[in-house]
């Protein structure tokens, strides 16, 4: 059997706990990568499902080692706020078992060709593309540009959050999140 193209030891999204789908607790993330013009440069985008809090990290390429390093660098201080991460089936997530160890989180994978299973992240990538169009060489993106994009997205009131911002919900207590999402 040909194993090229498959990520080993992946856990399917169907095995993900139901609490992730309810979006009533912080800690469940969706991740993806975006690339620039002619695949020049890359960034990993991570979106917390309940709060829609967004993190963008620039990478020089889409290799698994680069993804792991970017996630470790970005999420080490927040390990207590990362319980699960759901990825697509891109080869850049082949180091998922090492990412699990680094972050103390469980990783899951959407079914092939089912981007709707990670809809929060796909939608957020569309918002990010307003600032970083596909024609842009991502190697030219600066750290201050990434911080500006994150700041704008995380401080934008969202109808789905009762017109609160992702920043407000991500940094508030869990019980406040549940109340805000019910309103």
Domain 13-182: which CATH number of 3.30.1330.20, 3.40.50.12170, 3.40.50.300, 3.30.420.10? 3.30.420.10
Closest among 85, 50, 32 to 166, alpha carbons compared: 50
* Short-list 147, 152, 146, 118, CA closest to 132: 146
Q: Which residue has the higher pLDDT, 16 or 174?
A: 16
In this prediction, residues 75-98 reach a mean pLDDT of 94
> How does residue 183 score in pLDDT terms, banded at 50, 70 and 90?
very low
Hey, where are the domains in the chain? 13-182
Mean pLDDT of the chain: 90
**pLDDT confidence of residue 173:** 53
Split at pLDDT 50, 70, 90, the class of 5 is low
Query: What's the pLDDT tens digit per position in 105-132?
Result: 999 999 888 888 898 999 999 999 999 9
Residue 179 has pLDDT above 50, yes or no: no
Instruction: Tell me how far the alpha carbon of residue 98 is from its chain's centroid.
Output: 17
Query: Which 3-state string (H, E, C) describes 89-140?
Result: CCHHHCCHHHHHHHHCCEEEECCCCCHHHHHHHHHHHHHHHCCCCCCCCHHH
Q: What is the dihedral sign for C-alpha 73, 124, 129, 153?
A: negative
Alpha helices, DSSP H, located in the chain: 18-22, 64-75, 96-103, 119-129, 143-154, 166-170, 174-182
Q: What angle do CA 180, 115, 75 make, to 5 degrees?
A: 60
pLDDT tens profile 18-56: 999 999 999 999 999 999 988 889 999 999 999 999 999
pLDDT at 2 over 80: no
């Amino acid at each position: 059997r040909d194993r090229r193209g498959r990520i080993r030891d992946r856990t399917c999204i169907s095995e993900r706990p139901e609490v992730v789908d309810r979006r009533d607790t912080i800690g469940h993330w969706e991740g993806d990568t975006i690339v620039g013009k002619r695949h020049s440069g890359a960034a990993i985008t991570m979106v917390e499902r309940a709060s829609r809090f967004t993190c963008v990290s620039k990478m020089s390429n889409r290799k698994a080692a680069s993804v792991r390093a970017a996630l470790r660098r970005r999420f080490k201080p927040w390990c207590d706020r990362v319980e699960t991460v759901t990825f697509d089936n891109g080869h850049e997530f082949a180091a998922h078992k090492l990412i699990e160890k680094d972050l103390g989180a469980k990783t899951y994978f959407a079914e092939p060709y089912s981007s709707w299973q990670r809809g929060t992240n796909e939608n957020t990538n569309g918002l990010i593309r307003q600032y970083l169009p596909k024609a842009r060489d991502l190697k030219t993106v600066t750290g201050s540009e990434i911080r500006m994009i994150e700041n704008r997205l995380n401080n934008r009131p969202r109808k789905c959050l009762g017109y609160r911002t992702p920043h407000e919900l991500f940094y508030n207590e869990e019980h406040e999140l549940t109340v805000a999402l019910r309103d």
